[in-house]
Amino acid sequence: MGAICLLAVQARGQDVPARVLTISPVVGEVIDAREKATYGLFPTFSANDFQEARFYQNLSADSAVHLRVQLRDGRVVLRPHTSAELSAVRQTIETRRRELAAAPAAPVAGVEAAADSVGRRFRVTLRTGTAFDGEMTARRPRQLEFLTKDLGVVLVERANILRLQELNSELAKRPANWYDIGNGSRLFFAPTAWGLREGEGYLQDISLYFLGANYGITDNFSMGGMVSMLPGLPLRNQFLALTPKFSAQIAEKWHVGVGALYLRVPDFDLTDTSYGVGLLYGTATYGSADNNLTAGLGYGFAGGNIGSTPVLQLGGQKRISRRVSLITENYIIANSSAGMGGLYGAKINWKRTSLGLAAAYVIPYEGDYAVSSYVVPVFIDFTFRFGKPTR
């Protein structure tokens, strides 16, 4: 017996006793917002407004059936349903049940969605560039279904999904229409503890005459290189730099890294001789790839000897809009005869490229003056990212 509770359903101005009608054992007596989205029910009601629904059958001679919909704003809507409409609802539920029970096919377009993903919230980025946040309500062999705040139920072909990211506290703060601007592996020149993932990389041009590249060999190790192209100098008298880095995530918002900057310095004579100098460093970064603070400590080396004076690095970046990030990086030489200096400015970001413009300053350890380029950029950096999309 289907049964039950009795309810007085108002019809034609009179209170008529009624019982709850179970339309399908799959959804039970009460159809909630998730079941509405999963089985594609009641399309006339927006997912933003819908809270729950029940079917009631009058305990009278006509045995009329009504759908009682409870909306989020407190309103109640009653709608009569014919036998044909009830059959259509049952058929819709059964069809969706069979689709969900079907064995999943091989993943399409590299979009993975684990079996326990249903009920979790994701940021979905489509190949067209459109992005939205929503709760996954169903997985199908070639489609994923989401319940969104503004769009209601959205059914997306897996082949059309570029990125599927589970929402965490940091990602949820970033608007869905803010595209990825890189993995935050450096500020202007200084490294952060964020690393390139396997298959990610970028090409870089600094102030026109310095060309570089970095590539993620694994998720934790990257290698970079840079060469100068100073006019009038032969290749043997150009500078060459190598920048290996190992990085790891130790908590949701914490990354640590170690690395080196090796610089080949030519003698600028007629021979091919040169000497090597560089910096060994460790760094820690707090925050996301878009918004972070970095602190580092490094020691210089030359001719096989490591210096005793540390160099402290402090820096950070803040993404203030879809395209613009503010950045500062600062260096402190910790001895009695040096001081500090650094870069400050902004990066203008596009989906695959960025333009960094930084002014510079120097503050001697002794003296009451500072040297600055103020708002005139002395560091100009153009970057092109390639490979696997980040985050």
Structural domain span for residue 152: 115-173
pLDDT tens-digit series, residues 345-355? 999 999 899 99
List pLDDT tens digits, range 14-54.
567 888 988 888 888 899 887 887 788 887 887 767 889 99
**Same-domain pairing of 159 and 286:** no
* Residue 262's CATH number: 2.40.160.40
Average pLDDT over residues 162-174: 81
Domain assignment of residue 212, yes or no: yes
Q: How confident is the model at residue 111 (pLDDT cuts 50, 70, 90)?
A: low
**Is 234 inside a domain boundary?**
yes
Least confident of 209-213, 227-231, 333-337, 377-381: 333-337
Q: Give the single-character DSSP code of 118.
A: T
Over residues 157-167, mean pLDDT: 84
| Residues 235-288 pLDDT 10s | 888 999 999 999 999 998 999 999 999 999 988 776 678 889 999 999 999 999
Alpha-carbon span 289 to 389, nearest angstrom: 13
150 in the same domain as 86: no
pLDDT value of residue 235: 87
Both 140 and 88 in a single domain? no
Report pLDDT for 343.
97
pLDDT at 2: 38
Q: Answer yes or no: is pLDDT of 12 > 70.
A: no
Q: 295 with 228, same domain?
A: yes
Confidence of residue 106 (pLDDT cuts 50, 70, 90): very low
- The DSSP secondary structure of 26-87, one letter per residue, reads TT-S-EEHHHHHHHT--TTS-TTTEEEEEEEEESSTT--EEEEEEETTS-EEEEEE-HHHHH
Residues in the chain: 391
Dihedral angle sign, alpha carbons of residues 268, 269, 274, 275:
negative
The pLDDT, as a whole number, for residue 8 is: 44
Q: What is the DSSP string of 167-232?
A: --HHHHHS-TTS-------BSSSSB-S--PPTTEEEEEEETTTEEEEEEESSSSEEEEEEEE--TT
Residues 306 and 275 in one domain: yes
Q: Check residues 10 and 137 and name the one with the higher pLDDT.
A: 137
pLDDT top residue among 335 and 361: 361
Q: What is the pLDDT of residues 224-237, one digit of tens each?
A: 999 999 998 888 88
111-to-82, 107, 122, 255, 340 alpha-carbon distances in Å: 42, 6, 13, 26, 47
Which CATH number does the domain housing residue 168 bear? 2.30.30.100
- Domain count of the chain? 3
Give the whole-number percent of the chain exceeding pLDDT 90. Answer: 46
Q: Is the same domain home to 241 and 366?
A: yes
Q: What is the CA radius of gyration of the chain?
A: 31
Tell me what pLDDT residue 15 has.
63
Q: Are residues 41 and 168 in the same domain?
A: no
Asked if residue 228 and residue 371 are part of one domain, the reply reads yes
